[in-house]
């Protein structure tokens, strides 16, 4: 899923005249700021508290869920006694309010076939906000055998456990291990406008309000649409049938088999039947009824369709997405060395959608602004946003959908991976944009601001600590997406992209249509390292554990006079106290790519708190630049002499430093100053060279940081002194 809070890349295009004027204004502003910086530094030193960042959101560490009782229906996790195999689900959404209640509703019935893997006299199946019709047995469901080989227990009692969101069925005898059964239910739910489960989206066209029935199941809302074993590891196949009004179109994960006219009571409606899905998780299900139009093309036998409001399709607003989906899809087939496993890829733009987009397998849902593009009113940044979001969602078709993480505590790997490779897919679609570099601004710099707080949390959580739906939802934050992307990019770099892909491809082959845990990927990457004789200082899991199992990141300090390299946990608030313990003592195994006076050097691994490195001891006009191309997830500080030499290079020959590192120097310096590690004056001096800068990223980095200083001038006692 692509979060609505996620800051996508911003295109930046200016004319030469506007650019020159902007530079002159910027230089004048910088001069003023530098002149006032000494006053600011003096006043800042009086404050002991560093203001929170505006980078993004993060959840505090979760605590284990208290257990209300020892009864299975009071636990938030399903018991391991039953495993679903297949669902047959029929749903009928009403796009007009009910005449009696005034509510929009849907009705449905389902049959789930499941296997008993442990003898049990209890069936727990997820259900939330559904009203069930009592069956002939006066219970909320009917239980039958699929084989007839064993007697079927009767349902002794049935009820809804609302807190843990279960339909509970107690039986008068035990289900038999290795036998299969099926459960039939009929139910009614509200087609609410709450953006979760099976819900309604509304829009106005020609002064007429129109209603769309659509879905958002991730993470735990499939249970609002029909009773199901609603955990990602409970994969099954689905046969979906939708009943809908004439003049509307029904969509689901599978391809439509047929649409026929039927009569229910006195209502003449349509019934659309869909092909059976592949084995998949419930959170990836989707079904939509709308009056939308579409455009389509075929790419190597895969049908690609873009659905949207008729006016948007008629205005050609879906053309850009249609044209870019093919190249991105083909790129990922090559990257994963795996053919796209479905016959179609539908993408639909919805008027009301909470996330940026959702990777439902075969039917991806988007906000309108994340899929539709019009030359007359959309900006270049809108265009780039569309490309990267399509890349993000198509990346999930394999990583997340084909292979799914067993439980939500590993969400970071699912979303972090897609947030990394989305840039690779977008780069394939738009090779002239250099979009791959934007991960530094959009993700690394952004999440640095969050991960430098004591309220941050590790990428990976203990499975037992993530139980409730609310705890699961908290994981969809900047740490999971942007830090996940950043550390995976670092991993791909120090392994090499070829070794990284080799391990990834064998991982996908082994776990196709199944579930895995993040350590399974480490095992496959380690095997690729062994097979290719790649040299590493430790095993893949030992390196990555320091980045995954503790919060935060280091600032690496290089003293070019003494020839030493050290690390420490970077915190924006220099007076903050970290109360969360780490078995690694907030020390990391750090891969350092670096250059010495324009010459790239071999990668150096920092495995201790502080070490001597003779090669990094320089003098005269020589200089050292670390974290080359910002492939590492850490900040860099230098001794004063090296800072002065780097400032001199920026002033006289700024292109000697790679463009992405020029942006890094500015961002590192300003944040080191906020943490009181270097002076504010030094940070401001990194911007003086910008009068000669013609690239977007260094300017954007400077403007982002200067914006914070402007806010501080306005909101602190410094403003009074400045007057």
In the residue annotation, 474 being an active-site residue is answered as no
- How far is Cα 211 from Cα 245, in angstroms, rounded to an integer? 12
**Once rounded to an integer, what is the mean pLDDT over residues 702-712?**
88
- Number of Cβ atoms within 10 Å of the Cβ of 209: 8
CA torsion angle 585 586 587 591 (round to 10):
160
SS3 159: strand
CB 483 within 8 A of CB 416: yes
DSSP string, 470-494: HHHHHTSSHIIIIIHHHHHHHHHHH
Comparing 67-71, 106-110, 567-571, the range with the smallest average pLDDT is: 67-71
Same fold, 16-57+552-722 and 73-303: yes
Comparing CA positions, the residue from 661, 672, 650, 648 lying closest to residue 697 is: 661
Indicate whether 641 pLDDT > 70. yes
- How far is Cα 709 from Cα 697, in angstroms, rounded to an integer? 19
Domain ranges of the chain: 16-57+552-722, 73-303
CB 624 within 8 A of CB 561: no
Comparing 4-13, 78-87, 517-526, 637-646, the range with the smallest average pLDDT is: 4-13
Comparing 17-21, 83-87, 232-236, 555-559, the range with the smallest average pLDDT is: 17-21
The residues, ordered by sequence, that sit 6+ positions from 703 with a Cβ below 8 Å of its Cβ are none
Which pLDDT belongs to residue 107? Answer: 98
Domain 16-57+552-722 is of which CATH architecture? Sandwich (2.60)
Which pLDDT belongs to residue 149? Answer: 66
Comparing 33-42, 53-62, 400-409, 429-438, the range with the smallest average pLDDT is: 53-62
**Once rounded to an integer, what is the mean pLDDT over residues 285-293?**
98
pLDDT tens-digit series, residues 293-315: 999 999 999 999 999 999 999 99
Q: How far is CA 473 from the centre of its chain?
A: 12
CA 666, 669, 671, 674 dihedral sign is negative
DSSP string, 611-636: EE-GGG---TT--EEESGGG-SSSEE
Buried-exposed string 689-723: b where 16+ CB fall within 10 A, e elsewhere: bbeebebbbbbbbbebbbebbeebbeebebeeeee
Alpha-carbon distance values, 17 to 23, 27, 216, 433, 699 (Å): 10, 15, 47, 22, 17
Q: Which residues are annotated as a binding site for Zn(2+)?
A: 392, 396, 415
Indicate whether 512 pLDDT > 90. yes
The residues, ordered by sequence, that sit 6+ positions from 209 with a Cβ below 8 Å of its Cβ are 202, 203
Indicate whether 62 pLDDT > 50. no
The DSSP code for 536 is: -
Comparing CA positions, the residue from 435, 430, 401 lying closest to residue 418 is: 401
CB 394 within 8 A of CB 332: yes
Q: Read off the pLDDT band of 715 (50, 70, 90).
A: low
Comparing CA positions, the residue from 435, 487, 497, 499 lying closest to residue 632 is: 487
CB 601 within 8 A of CB 622: no
Which pLDDT belongs to residue 713? Answer: 73
Indicate whether 38 pLDDT > 60. no
The DSSP code for 677 is: S
DSSP string, 10-79: ------HHHHHHHHHHHHHHHHHHHHHHHHHHHHHTT---PPPPSS---PPPP-PPPPS-SSGGGSSSPP
Which pLDDT belongs to residue 3? Answer: 61
Indicate whether 176 pLDDT > 70. yes
Mean pLDDT for the chain overall? 91
Indicate whether 721 pLDDT > 80. no
Indicate whether 684 pLDDT > 50. yes
Indicate whether 39 pLDDT > 70. no
Which pLDDT belongs to residue 65? Answer: 41
- Where is pLDDT greater, at 716 or 406? 406
Indicate whether 500 pLDDT > 90. yes
Catalytic residue among 278, 333, 393, 474: 393
Q: Read off the pLDDT band of 716 (50, 70, 90).
A: low
Alpha-carbon distance values, 285 to 288, 362, 391, 683 (Å): 10, 9, 20, 50
Indicate whether 195 pLDDT > 50. yes
Q: Which residues are annotated as a binding site?
A: 392, 396, 415
Q: Read off the pLDDT band of 8 (50, 70, 90).
A: very low
- How far is Cα 255 from Cα 239, in angstroms, rounded to an integer? 11
Comparing 61-70, 288-297, 319-328, 523-532, the range with the smallest average pLDDT is: 61-70
Q: What pTM was estimated for this model as a whole?
A: 0.90
Domain 73-303 has CATH 2.60.40.1730: yes
pLDDT tens-digit series, residues 342-386: 999 999 999 988 888 999 999 999 999 999 999 888 888 999 999
Which pLDDT belongs to residue 613? Answer: 97
CB 110 within 8 A of CB 90: yes
Which pLDDT belongs to residue 720? Answer: 46
- Where is pLDDT greater, at 16 or 472? 472
């Amino acid at each position: 899923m692509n979060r609505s809070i996620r800051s996508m890349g911003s295109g930046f295009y200016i004319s030469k005249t506007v650019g020159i004027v902007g530079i002159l204004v910027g230089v004048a502003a910088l001069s003023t700021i530098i002149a006032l910086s000494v006053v600011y530094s003096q006043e800042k030193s009086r404050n002991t508290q560093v203001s929170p960042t505006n980078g993004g959101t993060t959840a505090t560490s979760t605590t284990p869920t208290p257990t209300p009782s020892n009864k299975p229906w009071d636990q938030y996790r399903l018991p391991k006694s039953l495993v679903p195999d297949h669902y047959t689900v029929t749903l009928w959404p009403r796009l007009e309010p009910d005449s009696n209640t005034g509510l929009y509703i849907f009705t449905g019935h389902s049959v789930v076939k499941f296997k008993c893997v442990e003898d049990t006299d209890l069936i727990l199946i997820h259900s939330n906000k559904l009203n069930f019709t009592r069956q002939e047995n006066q219970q909320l469901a009917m239980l039958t055998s699929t084989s007839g080989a064993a007697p079927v227990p009767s349902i002794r009692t049935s009820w809804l456990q609302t807190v843990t969101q279960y339909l509970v069925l107690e039986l008068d005898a035990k289900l038999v291990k290795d036998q299969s059964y099926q459960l039939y239910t009929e139910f009614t739910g509200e087609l609410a406008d709450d953006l979760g489960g099976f819900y309604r989206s509304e829009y106005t066209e020609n002064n007429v309000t129109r209603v769309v029935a659509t879905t958002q199941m991730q993470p735990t809302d499939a249970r609002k649409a029909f009773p199901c074993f609603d955990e990602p590891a409970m994969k099954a196949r689905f046969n979906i049938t939708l009943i809908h009004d004439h003049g509307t179109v029904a969509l689901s994960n599978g391809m439509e088999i047929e649409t026929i006219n039927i009569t229910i009571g006195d209502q003449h409606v349509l019934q659309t039947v869909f092909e059976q899905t592949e084995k998949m998780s419930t959170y990836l299900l989707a079904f939509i009824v709308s009056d939308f139009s579409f455009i389509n093309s075929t790419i190597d036998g895969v049908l690609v369709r873009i659905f949207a409001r008729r006016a948007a399709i008629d205005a050609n607003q879906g053309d850009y997405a249609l044209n870019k989906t093919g190249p991105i899809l083909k790129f990922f087939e090559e990257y994963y060395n795996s053919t796209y496993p479905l016959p179609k890829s539908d993408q639909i733009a919805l008027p009301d959608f909470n996330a940026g987009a959702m990777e439902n397998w075969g039917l991806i849902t988007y906000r309108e602004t994340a899929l539709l593009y019009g030359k007359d009113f959309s900006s270049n940044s809108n265009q780039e946003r569309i490309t990267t979001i399509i890349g993000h969602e198509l990346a999930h078709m394999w990583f997340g959908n084909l292979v799914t993480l067993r439980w939500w505590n590993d969400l970071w790997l699912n979303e972090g991976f897609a947030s990394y490779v989305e840039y690779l897919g977008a780069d394939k679609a738009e090779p002239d944009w250099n979009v791959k570099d934007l991960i530094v601004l959009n993700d690394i710099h952004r999440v640095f601001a969050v991960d430098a707080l004591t309220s941050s949390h590790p990428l990976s959580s203990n499975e037992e600590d993530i139980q409730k739906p609310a705890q699961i939802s908290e994981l969809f934050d900047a740490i999971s997406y942007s830090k996940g992307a950043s550390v995976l990019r670092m991993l791909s770099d120090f392994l090499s992209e070829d070794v990284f892909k080799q391990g990834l491809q064998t991982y996908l082959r082994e776990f196709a249509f199944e579930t895995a845990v993040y350590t399974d990927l480490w095992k496959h990457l380690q095997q690729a390292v062994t097979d290719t004789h790649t040299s590493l200082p430790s095993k893949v899991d030992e390196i990555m554990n320091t980045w995954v199992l503790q919060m935060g990141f280091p600032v690496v300090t290089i003293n070019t006079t003494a020839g030493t390299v050290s690390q420490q946990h970077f915190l924006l608030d220099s007076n903050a106290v970290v109360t969360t313990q780490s078995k690694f003592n907030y020390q990391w195994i750090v891969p350092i790519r670096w250059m010495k006076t324009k010459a790239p050097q071999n990668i150096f691994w920092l495995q201790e708190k502080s070490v001597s490195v003779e090669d990094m001891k320089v003098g005269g006009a020589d200089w050292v630049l670390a974290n080359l191309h910002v492939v590492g997830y850490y900040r860099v500080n230098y001794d004063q002499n090296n800072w002065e030499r780097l400032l001199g290079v920026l002033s006289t020959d700024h292109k000697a430093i790679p463009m992405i590192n020029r942006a890094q120097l500015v961002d590192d310096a300003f944040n080191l100053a906020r943490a009181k590690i270097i002076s504010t004056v030094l940070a401001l001096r990194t911007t003086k060279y910008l009068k000669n800068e013609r690239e977007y990223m260094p300017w954007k980095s400077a403007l982002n940081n200067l914006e914070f200083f402007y806010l501080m001038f306005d909101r602190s006692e410094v403003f009074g002194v400045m007057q």
